[in-house]
Every structure is written in C-alpha cells, then in structure tokens.
Structure 1
Amino acid sequence: MPNWTRTYVRFVEALNYRIGRFAMYLLFVLMAVMLWSSFARAALTPAIWTDEMGQFLMVGYFMLGGAYALQMDSAVRMDLLYSRWNDRTKAFVDVVTIFALLFYLGVLLFGGIESTAYAIEYDERRRGLWRPVMWPVKTVMCVGITLMLLQCTAILFKDVAKLKGEEL
C-alpha cells in the first residue's frame, strides 16, 4: 500500500480515538444534567432546559462516538455467517459492503449540511419553553457523520491491504 494510505489510516484512527474517548465522558455530563433535573423537580421548580439538554448531549454522545465504535469493531453486525469466515473472506465482504455504508453516510452528510445551513440562516429554534437554537447540535451531527466517513475509508484501506496480504 502507498505510504499516504498508512499515514491517512494512522491519522484518522488517532483522531477518532481521541474524539471517541472524549465522547465517552459526555455520558457523565448527561448523568449530571439528569440528576439536576430530578433534584430540581423534587426540591425546587422544574428546570425547563434539562430534558432538551439531555437529548442534545445524547446526540453528541452517539454521533461523536460512532466512528470510535467502528474503529473498535464494536458496531452491531449480523454474525450468522461472518464469524465462521477467515480474515480474507471477511475483508472481501467488508470491501464490497462498505460502499453501501459510504453512500448512506454521504447522503446523510449532504442532508445534515443543508439542515445546518437552514438552521443558521433562519435562526431555527426548537419548540418549547426553552427554545434553544438548533445549529450547534446539527453541527455536531455533521462532524460525527464526517468522522464516520473518514473511519469507513480507513477501514476500506485496511481491508484492501488485508486482501493484498499486507497489514496497515
């Protein structure tokens, strides 16, 4: 494999590893927000921002952690036949099927960018009492999808190298 593919794979995996580890800690922030919500409902007046903030944190957790899950091979897969195959057969099937995932993520990113641009241009806000702006969470979604696209291409390069008998 060319040297640039090795550099690309190393860079993408290092980036996704760090961002994925950061995203793991968003769960603790989410727990703090939900704990505050419970406390405020029981002892004080209910906070109007906690439910939506919890939803936004969960979006960040899932979207920023998605590429890390792909990298660690912890994504859910139909394992009826896959586990019985040798590494080269797995790599071949992954090379063929990853294009469907790349297409799906590309369409998702296209829609996400258009939705984010709309949210910025028209100051889109969520309905409800708190009315938070939507562009930050939509931007996080676009970043997460981009990271997944980068990780999928890194996985593709690794699988092609595996088919050639090399390791990246």
Structure 2
Amino acid sequence: MSKKEEYEQKTEQLLEPIIQEYNFELVDVEYVKEGSNWYLRAFIDKEGGITVDDCEAVSRQLSDLLDEKDFIPDAYILEVSSPGLGRQLKKEKDFARSIDKEVEIKLYKAINKQKEYIGFLVDYDNEKFTIELEDESTIDIPRSNVALIRLAFDF
C-alpha cells in the first residue's frame, strides 16, 4: 500500500464516526499534490445536499483528530466539501445509486471509434458497465477500459 493510500484509508477511518454522527455519507477521501502543496480532501454528502456549515462542522472535528493522530508528516491543506455535480463515480454504492441515471464514460481505448459515451447506466458488475444509448441500444464497456465515469449533467 502506498503512502497516499495509507493516508486516505486512515483518514476514512477517522471520518466514519463523524459522518455517522451527522447522518452524512462519505463519498471519497483523496490525498493529492497540486503544485507545491499537498491536499487532504474529504468529500461528504447527504440527502438534499451538503451545506457550508456541514462541511465546517466535519472539518473542525476531523482536523482535531488529525492533529491528535499526526500520521501525515508532510504539511497539507485540509478541505472538506461537497462532491459536486460532476463528481467521479468510484465506489459500488456510487454505481448502485446511479442505476437508471445518465452517465458520461471516458475510455482509455476507443470502442467503435469512440472514446466517450453518454447514456443511462442500466447494469454493472466487476467486469463491465452496461449503458443504454440514445438510440435505445446497449453497450457493455469493460471496467478496465474506463478512465472516468461520472453522472452526466446539462447546463
């Protein structure tokens, strides 16, 4: 397990009781370097959407726990926020919640000369995603070929 994965996993463990206390959902945790700064980001959600006050409450409690446990030696910036409209779907619960919703899938390698598909997620398993296209046909897309899958949104 890499340092990045270890920090993300330990942070998730610290977050779980906080998230349960507020009846929120932990969407994702990421530890990333952008420019010269490290960021520890926690994405949370709830029915009806997350507010700034929700993020602040979780951030304060998490910050105290991170200071106490002190398992990340690097200087980093802590951010707690909503996952946003265009968030990437990563976990099984994300896929289950997105059945019958419109998704955008970007591929590593083209299928039928296309590297991007938009359609309704009708099924998924460990091997593939099945989406229904605009013409009502379906296509199976191997998970190993998926660079990104997220909910589609129109402006």
TM-score tier (shorter): under 0.3
Higher helix proportion (structure 1 or 2): 1
Q: What TM-score do you get using the length of structure 2 for normalisation?
A: 0.23
Q: What TM-score do you get using the length of structure 1 for normalisation?
A: 0.22
Higher strand proportion (structure 1 or 2): 2
